[in-house]
């Protein structure tokens, strides 16, 4: 019989949190959760964010609905609908927030849809010391005006649901948002490369601005290699945890519109590491 996360001990949750941090993501199968129970188990790891957006049920504001379903008036009941989602982290400028973990619980599946996760912390660990020092010297400027940069594709400059003009993202990215390209995870202190491709506007070494096209051409093929990726097709009862500091993810289009996931975001504050 599959272990149920509802029955986990404090030590089980500590081991789960450590595995999420070490591997970047963890999937548990055949779980049986209500929305309230989903919130309960995530709360065993840390404090959950609460939102008041249209995709958050009023009785469980900790949960965001991710779905292609629409109501009787044709309005979406959840975010992202049926679109393909390019590489991103939830919350856009996640480095300004404290909810480092995202969970996705599958209520209704679409077996034609694939979630891909890329671990940019593992990628950085594989670099030579010379390369690491070079990337540590770089600062990046995140764009708060909705300009998206997508190398070698028609996503460069595309207006869309990821556009930071969307109210959902404005709180996370400001026009003067400049940060180091390389950061350290708040729990295990391991370095990661913050190559947040849809929001990067400029890159600098000190006061010297780098050519953004050359910057992308250098990093994109290094980060997005199959050896750093996992791919998952959600089935009912799957619950996936992703560390938003160490990983970036994308999703293929939705074909079965009834697909539904419950999403939460939270920190690690209730785990004694």
Distance in angstroms (rounded) separating the CA atoms of residues 78 and 70? 8
Distance in angstroms (rounded) separating the CA atoms of residues 54 and 72? 15
HEC sequence for the chain? CCCCHHHCCHHHHHHHHHHHHHHCEEEECCCCCCHHHHHHHHHHHCCECCCCCCCCCCCCCCCEEEECCECCCCCECCEECCCCEEEECCCCCHHHCCCCEEEEEEEECCCCCCEEEEEHHHHHHCCCHHHHHHHHCEEEEECCCCCCCCCCCCCCCCCCCCCCCCHHHHCCCCCCEEEECEEECCCCCCEEECCCCCCEEEEEECCEECCHHHHHHHHHHHHCCHHHEEEECCCCCCEEEEECCCEEEEECCCCCCCCEEEEEEECCCCCCC
Q: What is the tens place of the pLDDT at every residue in 79-137?
A: 877 878 888 887 555 566 788 999 999 999 999 999 999 999 999 999 999 999 999 99
Q: Return mean pLDDT, the chain.
A: 86
Distance in angstroms (rounded) separating the CA atoms of residues 5 and 268? 16
pLDDT (mean) for 159-169: 40
Q: What is the tens place of the pLDDT at every residue in 15-50?
A: 999 999 999 999 999 999 999 999 999 999 999 999
pLDDT (mean) for 198-227: 92
Residue 162 has pLDDT above 60, yes or no: no
Distance in angstroms (rounded) separating the CA atoms of residues 57 and 153? 36
Residue 255 has pLDDT above 60, yes or no: yes
At residue 270, the pLDDT reads 98
Q: What is the tens place of the pLDDT at every residue in 43-75?
A: 999 999 998 888 999 999 999 999 989 888 888
Tokens 């009912």 correspond to 236
Structural domains in the chain? Answer: 5-89+98-118+229-266 (3.60.130.10), 120-223 (no CATH)
């Amino acid at each position: 019989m599959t272990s149920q996360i509802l029955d986990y001990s404090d030590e089980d949750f500590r081991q789960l949190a450590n595995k999420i941090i070490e591997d970047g993501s963890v999937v548990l199968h055949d779980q049986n959760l209500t929305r309230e129970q989903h919130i309960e188990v995530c709360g065993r790891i840390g404090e959950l964010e609460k939102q008041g957006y249209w995709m958050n049920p009023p009785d469980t504001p900790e949960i965001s609905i991710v779905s292609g379903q629409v109501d009787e008036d044709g309005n979406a009941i959840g975010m992202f609908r049926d679109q393909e989602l390019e590489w991103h982290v939830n919350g856009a400028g996640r480095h300004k927030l404290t909810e480092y973990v995202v969970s996705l619980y599958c209520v209704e599946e679409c077996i034609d849809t694939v979630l891909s996760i890329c671990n940019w912390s593992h990628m950085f660990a594989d670099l030579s010391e010379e390369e690491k020092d070079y990337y540590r010297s770089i600062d990046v400027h995140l764009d708060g005006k909705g300009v998206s940069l997508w190398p070698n594709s028609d996503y460069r400059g595309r207006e869309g649901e990821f556009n930071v003009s969307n109210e959902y993202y404005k709180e996370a990215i400001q026009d003067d948002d400049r940060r180091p390209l390389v950061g350290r995870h708040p729990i295990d202190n391991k370095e990661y490369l913050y190559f947040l491709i849809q929001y990067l506007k400029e890159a600098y070494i000190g006061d010297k601005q780098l050519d953004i096209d050359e910057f992308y051409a250098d990093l994109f093929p290094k980060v997005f290699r199959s050896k750093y990726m996992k791919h998952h097709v959600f089935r009912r009862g799957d619950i996936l945890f992703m560390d938003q500091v160490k990983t970036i993810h994308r999703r293929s289009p939705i074909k079965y519109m009834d697909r539904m996931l419950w999403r939460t975001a939270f920190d690690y504050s209730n785990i004694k590491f």
